[in-house]
Structure 1
Amino acid sequence: MNQFAPILPELILTVSGIVLMMVAAWGGRRSGGFTSWASVAVLVAATFALIGAPSHAGGVFGGLITADLFGSFGKAIIFIASAVAIIAAYGWFERDTEHSAEYSVLILFSALGGAVMVSATSLVTLYVGLELQSLASYVLASYRRTDERSAEAGLKYFVLGALASGILLYGISLLYGFTGTMNFNGIAAAFARDGTSSLGLLFGLVFVLAGVAFKVSAVPFHMWTPDVYEGAPTPVTAFFASAPKVAAVLLGTRVCLDALAPATDAWRQIVIFAALASIFLGAVAAFGQTNIKRLLAYSSINNVGFALVGLAAGTPQGASSVLFYMAVYVVMTLGAFLCVLWMRDENGDPIEDIASLSGLSQTRPAFAAAFAIFMFSLAGIPPLFGFWPKLLVFQAAVSSGLVALAVAAIVGTVVGAYYYLRIIKVMYMDEAGKPFSRVTQPIQGALIFLAAIAVSPLGYLLIGPLGAITDRAAGSIF
């Protein structure tokens, strides 16, 4: 049994997911509440199971995966974000004709795929984890089968996701063909020996990074994000913007800093381009948006760009800044989407227009204050906590001599602040429109409150402990 101890969280998710899938299949709609809360309990159990062997056992199963603090930190974020996405959906599917019981099971399997992704030290497990996470996501995007937008979102995600998987698989086949191994250590040794003088290795590197860039929705592989985020059910969009995003960013970080470490000069150029393109396109393209979910989609593209600035540094400090950034980003994004979930008209139907937020500070002052905190924090405006992770990635870039990159990213921050401030202007300066209906979801309300506290100036109390953990986690892959 000791050999299975390092993968205890994954085992918990696998066995529980299969059992709950059977419960959902036989129980139908009646089992929706049970499977939801059981799934949350499973994710909490998997998070606690990270304590011990899964955080320090090292390479297991012949180097297919590794159990280290870097992977455990990523898994903790993924599991918690997944649990919040399940809680956020509670009551959302009640009036649908579709079964709601399978939703939480799909989240479990997607979280399992994400856990495999952040622990992968072989191209085989990398691909298996990524596809497991993606297949569940395709179904989640099109979950409301009677909704044309949801069906369209699922189809677009599936077609473009299949294309990205093909690109990634081609890159994997090139790396395997020119190195003779799937293991990250073996690939790193081949790059150290041949460098980028081998065109085959260089093309393999480019195609693998292109496949990963699609999963993190970095420009120019971002085209699916706004449509899928807008069309998918809002709880699903909240999930897409958090857990799978963290899994993909950390997967890319491990690939670059482990398997491709000797070729830093080659992949750094790609990452710098993707970072700047994502920051500026994410900022500019959001200007004319009228749908809050599309705006938050461009916000996620913009934020991924900032995380990639830390990755471009290619140092332990850079890796630590990426981990810190993603942890804070998830809290800000989930908080914002939980607020979007509370945007309901007098009939209780969802509203997504930014204009509907007019004068919200007059009709729902606490709701408006929470939303404003998340917008200010996403914009990186001090003294809110969202400023600190941006500062960390800029410091990492400057320490590595990438001063021009840091300056350009800072300019991008200023440009992007406009559309966050526009939402605050609508809530606080425009005349009040129709008031939103009251949502009686105390658990969701508590989550919004906790997230708002975490990204408020009180969040700076977390700098010491969170920074220490991210430094140790980043050090485990060097």
Structure 2
Amino acid sequence: MTLQPVLGEIILAITASQFMLLTGLSKSKKRPDLIRLMAVVGLLAFAFVGFVTDRNVTETFGGAFINDDFARYVKLIIGLAGAAAIVLSRNYLRSERLDQYEFSVLLVYAVLGMGIMVSSNDLLTLYIGVEMQALALYVLAAFNRDSLRASEAGLKYFVLGALSSGILLYGASLIYGYSGSLRFDGIALALQGDYGPGLVGGMIFLLCGLAFKISAAPFHMWTPDVYEGAPTPVTGFFAGAPKLAAIALIARVLYEPFGDLAEGWTLALMVFAGLSMVVGALGGLMQTNIKRLMAYSSITNMGYALVPLTAGTLAGVAGMLTFMTIYVVTVIGVFACILQMRIRNGIVEQISDLSGLAETNKGLAITLTVMMVSLIGIPPFAGFWGKWFAFGPAIGAGHYFIVVLALVASVVGAFYYLRIIRLMWFAEANEGFVAAPRIERSFSLVSAVLLLAMGILPFITYPGLNLIRDAASSLFG
């Protein structure tokens, strides 16, 4: 047995359980910064190690763990998103007196769970990855122990997450009982012979459990409350990397073991996508809290991400990866901007607090405007290309209704993004608003965020598309 395919996860496990925790026992005042640096280095190593090792060696642990091109690409984005979340959280944690080393440790463990998720090749590995990620995220949601909202968010997330885990486990038990195998290839083999209705029912239960992880309606009820109550850097992290890991796992589960049941799960995905787009678009119209607004935006965008998967083709998986890459980077940019703004009572949370931002800090207003326009999907911004590659495969498969619904949801959702832009540029400045002192007169962070936003452009060029196409191809053998 070779450990090369699991090398990235070994790096994260050693980084979190040895270096970071042992360093945490020291009494140095620079302890949080040192552990933050360790976490960022470990996450960057995790992101790139799959591309510098032998890519012909893909399986280990008896085939239960697979590190193919699909897993490598998703881990690249997840690792970079995790590193960005740690870097962007530094000033917030200090200002809120939450700068504890455990934050970085928990985030690394969450990314470790995501890595196991996207590389799982049997039901047991799948469950281990899902629960390792979830347990770390439950604690991160309630990281501010002195906040009633944060404690409530963590408790709601834990209770509903436990329910979803039960649904997922029940589905896995049905699948194992009717197929006689935990391995994905064994399940696919069982589907080629005579199989009972329990196997299909198990797939539906498994899919429902995973739909909770991406906030797909009707399993979205936890999202607005958890996003609002959790610390802002945690909310930004929730909106990106965990969603990519979960939807990548959904793609692997549906396209590999259940590929022969495409007609059944295609309808289920269309229902999840349609409900998510409607609930997210309409729910966001009534929000006054920017974190709750981003929660409903996340629900809508997960609906968009499910649209290409309904095609059941290689182009559909590639479209999902392209859309999710652009979405993850864009949402990191949005929360990076939010974390740089303050009002006299603390961090900016109300949408009305953004009034007149262009007068207070024009660079920050430009950056946030670019992000919002990208989320709307207006060309030539990157969000447009994300939707272009997402909706194209569904059109090719003849799923015109779901694409039309997605376009209508995009138009409705544009209203609340444009409302933010209007407040920033045309409303009177909020007297209680101040930008973070370090960037009030400086464009350094604004420039960095803009470069981060522009960094997604290579993914719509030929080298980027080839990388995504190779990743998608690995699901099809």
TM-score category by the smaller chain?
A: over 0.9
Matching residue within 434, 437, 440 for 1:436: 434
Letter in 1 for 2:343: D
2:221 is paired with a residue whose SS is: coil
Q: Is the 8 A contact 2:273 2:304 kept in 1?
A: yes
Q: What is the CA–CA distance in structure 1 between the aligned matches of 2:298 and 2:98, rounded to whole Å?
A: 29
Q: What is the CA–CA distance in structure 2 between the aligned matches of 1:86 and 1:445, rounded to whole Å?
A: 18
Match of 2:373 in 1: 376
Q: What is the CA–CA distance in structure 2 between the aligned matches of 1:16 and 1:444, rounded to whole Å?
A: 28
Kindly state the Cα deviation for residue 194 of structure 1 after the two structures are TM-superposed: 3.1
Percent of pairs with identical residues: 42
Kindly state the Cα deviation for residue 363 of structure 1 after the two structures are TM-superposed: 2.1
Q: Deviations over 1:208-233 (max 9, x none)?
A: 00000000110000000111011000
Q: Is 1:5 paired with 2:4? A: yes
Q: Is the 8 A contact 1:7 1:54 kept in 2?
A: no
Kindly state the Cα deviation for residue 53 of structure 1 after the two structures are TM-superposed: 4.0
Letter in 2 for 1:205: M
| Structure-2 change in CA distance of 1:3 and 1:311 (3 Å) | same
1:285 is paired with a residue whose SS is: helix
Q: Is the 8 A contact 1:335 1:452 kept in 2?
A: yes
Q: What is the CA–CA distance in structure 1 between the aligned matches of 2:97 and 2:449, rounded to whole Å?
A: 28
Q: What is the CA–CA distance in structure 2 between the aligned matches of 1:142 and 1:75, rounded to whole Å?
A: 26
Q: Is 1:174 paired with 2:171? A: no
Q: Is the 8 A contact 2:117 2:246 kept in 1?
A: yes
Q: What is the CA–CA distance in structure 2 between the aligned matches of 1:59 and 1:461, rounded to whole Å?
A: 27
Kindly state the Cα deviation for residue 253 of structure 1 after the two structures are TM-superposed: 0.6
Q: Deviations over 1:183-206 (max 9, x none)?
A: 1111112122236xx221121011
Match of 1:153 in 2: 153
Q: Is 1:49 paired with 2:46? A: no
2:219 is paired with a residue whose SS is: coil
Match of 2:207 in 1: 209
Which runs of structure 2 are paired with 1:293-304 in the superposition (5 Å)? Answer: 293-304=291-302
Which runs of structure 2 are paired with 1:68-467 in the superposition (5 Å)? Answer: 68-96=68-96, 98=98, 100-194=100-194, 198-346=196-344, 349-434=346-431, 435-440=433-438, 444-454=445-455, 459=457, 462-467=460-465
Letter in 2 for 1:320: A
Q: Is the 8 A contact 2:341 2:436 kept in 1?
A: no
1:51 is paired with a residue whose SS is: helix
Q: What is the CA–CA distance in structure 1 between the aligned matches of 2:458 and 2:51, rounded to whole Å?
A: 25
Kindly state the Cα deviation for residue 151 of structure 1 after the two structures are TM-superposed: 0.6
Between stretches 380-389 and 58-67, larger displacement belongs to 58-67
| Structure-2 change in CA distance of 1:95 and 1:403 (3 Å) | closer
Q: What is the CA–CA distance in structure 2 between the aligned matches of 1:176 and 1:215, rounded to whole Å?
A: 22
Letter in 1 for 2:6: I
Structure 1: runs of 5 or more not aligned: none
Count of residue pairs brought into register by the alignment = 471
Letter in 2 for 1:123: L
Structure 2: runs of 5 or more not aligned: none
| Structure-2 change in CA distance of 1:54 and 1:477 (3 Å) | farther
Kindly state the Cα deviation for residue 96 of structure 1 after the two structures are TM-superposed: 4.7
1:344 is paired with a residue whose SS is: strand
Q: Deviations over 1:395-452 (max 9, x none)?
A: 1001112122222211221111111111111111212222423342687545412223
Q: Is the 8 A contact 1:116 1:126 kept in 2?
A: yes
Q: Is the 8 A contact 1:338 1:444 kept in 2?
A: no
Q: What is the CA–CA distance in structure 2 between the aligned matches of 1:328 and 1:97, rounded to whole Å?
A: 32
Q: Is the 8 A contact 1:55 1:71 kept in 2?
A: no
Letter in 2 for 1:87: V
Kindly state the Cα deviation for residue 166 of structure 1 after the two structures are TM-superposed: 0.4
Between stretches 386-395 and 96-105, larger displacement belongs to 96-105
Q: Is 1:15 paired with 2:14? A: yes
